[in-house]
Structure 1
Amino acid sequence: MRKEQTPKDLTGPLRRGSVKKNVAAIHVSGKLTLLQRKLSNVLLLNAYDTLVHQNTHKIDAQTLCAMIGYNSNDMETLKASLRGLVETLAEWDMLDENGQQEWGVSSLLAYAKLKGGVCEYSYSSALAEKLHDPKVFALINLNIQKRFTSGHALALYENCYRFVRTRSTGWWELETFRRLMGVNDSAYYEVFKHLNAKVIKPAVAEVNKTSNIIVTPETRKMGRSVTHIRFKIKDNPQLAILDIDDGSGVRNSPTYAALIGQGVSDRLAKQWIAEHGAEYVGAKLAYVGERRDVQNPVSYLQAALRDDYAAPVVEAAPTSERGRKLAIVRDLVAGRSPTQRDADKRLFMARLDGAARLDFEKHGWMSALNAEGIFAFWEELMPEAFEL
């Protein structure tokens, strides 16, 4: 069982009376493959906004496969990975709001189902509550996740990133650490020299090269034997992609206020500003505000940020057949979730090269050079999309 952090170990806003609630973490068994671990994170991100309000969540299987690097026709591999998530345990040991110790365990997924090209899945209510609480569980940025090539490295990153606010994981018994890395059933890794050479050092090297944090292992011995390990954590200045403070600076900006005024959530407003910059977001806000045909400004703004909508391109030939189809594409994109939009772009860009690819990277779905290909792509995805 890990050692509870004390207030003197903490920095900044965490040095408060409620600090013990802020250092709790969920430990997920490390016996997941790299693709299973990526799958778990994509499913959580897709469900996050409705995690505690909906019992079930859905994502189309094609999107899911594209996001985690599966062949979209390889449903057996997807089934095996989903089965693995249902069979994997998530465990927590923390203080509740009344200061009482709470231990719990749950399947990572309560169930998963594939039907009609759609993946439906659910979390247990107890686990969903913990996963949705940012004090307990940190979402993993998919742009960082994509960089990892080792399951051990991604497992180490996840288990360290959830303690990024406290700057230390706290001491783990080696048995606990081996379980988190998925090597607890191997006699070979019971020898610390082997564990260090084959798991710890390579994983630390990849985390520090690949992610937005730098981790440093420290060990504790009894006699000559290593019995515990912890990881000190600091920001990686070269890859500081995520805003991990409390958002107080962002919340004072005019752009943040404008987003909140449009009905954007606090979490999403901070995320957009962190990812795109306040100036860029402000420009897209102004662009959306000038349009009179937008029924859902927040969804349209999300698409405008994602695909870099620009008035001259979007407005081209509004009364033509091509203009009609472009408007439909714009609305189709706006109606997709962030996860789906990313997958859609990846799938379409895989078909492009040279000038066509450069034009799509610049103009997104409003690319004039790729118009016919874009229409064909969306017609494949949604066969009746352009019918009158």
Structure 2
Amino acid sequence: MAPNIFPKEGCVENDNDTSDKSNKILNISGSMTNGRLNDTELSKNVIEDTYKTSSEYKMHIRWFNVFIFLYLHISAIYGLYLLYTDAKWSTYAFTHVLMTFSGFGVTAGAHRLWAHKAYKARLPLRILLMIAHTTAHQNSLYAWVRDHRIHHKFTDTDADPYNAKRGFFFSHIGWLMVHKHHLVIEKGNVIDMDDMKQDPVVMFQKKYFIPLMILFCFFLPTFIPMYFFNESFIVAFHTATLFRYVWMLNSTWSVNSAAHIWGMKPFNKISSSAENGYVAFFALGEGWHNYHHAFPWDYKTGELGKYGLNWSTAFIDFFAKIGWAYDLKTVSEEVIRNRALKTGDGSHEFCKQEKKLDNCKQNMDYNHNINSNNNDKSIDNLIWGWDDPSISIQDKLSAVILKKEKNI
């Protein structure tokens, strides 16, 4: 996931660190159509190039960002103390409600709706999710989606904004404290974003992001407890605003870090993404990450996790019932079974139930030599979501679509 909180740093065209003389610049002209990434061959070329240059990358620290994050986290710790010592019960409840609301703006909104096109939403729901996402303040929807699509298209390479191969700290928060790798910038300039440009809600937020962010993320969360609950400024600002804000930042970041390090890999043992129930709990259902990278168009982002560990799915299902969400895309049990048997680590129940663990391990031990010409499933599956031009016809045809659009 892509929580860059600094608007300027979130836009690749504004990043000054656009080249590294010691690195090889990738020639992608032969793999583009209309300036967009559009095929599997490009994914293969990028993987080959980024693995070659990875060790040469030198990170340049953005000290302003470092100090901002240090201040935010110290203030959030103080806010946590105030929440349990000085804050009124109404402020305590408001903080947690707002925390969940803003979280849905990231999970059900920026992530599942806009980044992966896993379902469709009518205008009222898109506006609600835009406000929730702005309250979470993880940069504009446009920048968030762009970075996240790059992450899925080039996972675990130098083109991945929060490359987990660089360690927990980098993938959690460190990537926001350094200049972007030039490949992240290059891919951000050519990844397909036409759908976002055509969404008036997204472009409205992008145009007025600064005043909207100040209003929804900082002013209203502080003002409401002060005006309605007679809370002091110090308590309101440090609890409902800063603690709530930093908590959701770290919940989102944990998907990039913890869910790419710890957990089982029942669908793709090669990917760094993993199934992590702890992350799912704190990130409103986003922790079933190995599944998500295998099937990024599934609106549930996971096979496991009922509503108790996937509140975002419950949120989407509720709005589907009232007609605000529709065309919910998911994956059939047969497709899940075949993927687990073919490329998983043998931990899936399908392997155990059918007593084919040894067979699973043999099937998943496919060639991961990036220089080979084999049709490697790990490369074929490097897509960002439903409308990625590289998604296979088979995946589209086998998808299960719930709550299909009706004219209302």
Task: Tell whether the structures are fold-level matches, with TM greater than 0.5.
Answer: no
- If asked which structure has higher relative contact order (CA below 8 Å, sep 6+), I would say 2
State TM-score, norm by structure 2. 0.28
Q: Relative to total residues, which structure has the larger helix share, 1 or 2? A: 2
Q: Relative to total residues, which structure has the larger strand share, 1 or 2? A: 1
Larger radius of gyration: 1
State TM-score, norm by structure 1. 0.29
